[in-house]
Amino acid sequence: MEEKPEKILKLNKVIRKFIISDLILFSGWGFISPLMSIFIVQEIGGNLINVGVSVAIYWFVRSIIELPLANKLDKTRGEKDDFYALISGLFVIAVSAFCFTVVSNINQLYLFQLLEGIGFAMYASSWSGIFSRHLDKDRIAFSWSADHIAVGIASALGGILGGLSATLLGFRFIFIFGGILSLISAIIFPSSMPSLESSWVKLKSSVVLKI
């Protein structure tokens, strides 16, 4: 007996919100990532070697942080640690996007690429842990595939719109836009996990008090 279309597409609330948040985050970075090499060469006077080094810094930093952090998150009971790592990672990602608006030399670029790598390492390790624990047993492959498709669509649309936006509005716009979408993604996550909403409220309150 074939499943009805609405049954096939049905996913639990946590998984749906995580996929939506991924869609928003990678829509923003879809504006930025494809155009970084052009930005480096045209806007700050870099060359192809600088492009390669900046990409290497991002992936090297992300790679050396992500696995140890994931291991630590797995060993800690509960999901509060994953939650804080996830939200913190998104804020670091947003800050790195905003920082690109003030880049004036290659050394600054490398520094902000390092920051971006740290943010995505925190995000990826914590996101994967929470997402995996909330998967429906009969929707494991489908849920992961749905997220991959969402990221793919977001990256594709971001690439097209990012190129158009950079042409009409400049690179600063796409960096700010990517940063804003990263922040929106951070806001959506707590609503997907009612058990952790109180932690989000406490986190926001502590930030406000410090300011």
**Nearest Cα to 35, choosing from 152, 170, 184?**
170
pLDDT tens over the chain, length 211 residues: 445 444 446 788 888 888 998 999 999 999 999 999 999 999 999 999 999 999 999 999 999 999 999 999 988 877 888 888 999 999 999 999 999 999 999 999 999 999 999 999 999 999 988 888 888 888 889 999 999 999 999 999 999 999 999 999 999 999 999 999 999 988 887 665 555 554 444 544 544 444 4
Q: How far is CA 72 from the centre of its chain?
A: 20
Helices then strands, counting H and E runs in the chain, come out as 9, 0
Residue 183 token pair: 């922040």
CA distance 174 to 30: 9
List the structure tokens of 169: 């509005």
Residue with tokens 């998984």, as numbered in its chain: 15
Three-state secondary structure readout of 77-130: CCCHHHHHHHHHHHHHHHHHHHHHHHCCCHHHHHHHHHHHHHHHHHHHHHHHHH
- pLDDT value of residue 62: 96
Furthest CA-CA distance within the chain? 62
Q: Which two tokens stand for residue 52?
A: 């390669």
Taking a C-beta distance cutoff of 8 angstroms, is the pair 204, 84 a contact?
no
**Counting beta carbons within 10 angstroms of the beta carbon of residue 44, is it exposed (0 to 12), middle (13 to 18) or buried (19 or more)?**
middle
Compute CA distances 115 → 36, 58, 106, 192, whole Å: 15, 8, 14, 27
d(CA 152, CA 30): 9
Residues 203/83, Cβ–Cβ less than 8 Å: no
Q: Are 86 and 130 in contact (CB under 8 A)?
A: yes
Residues 6+ apart with CB under 8 A from 77: none
Q: What is the pLDDT of residue 112?
A: 96
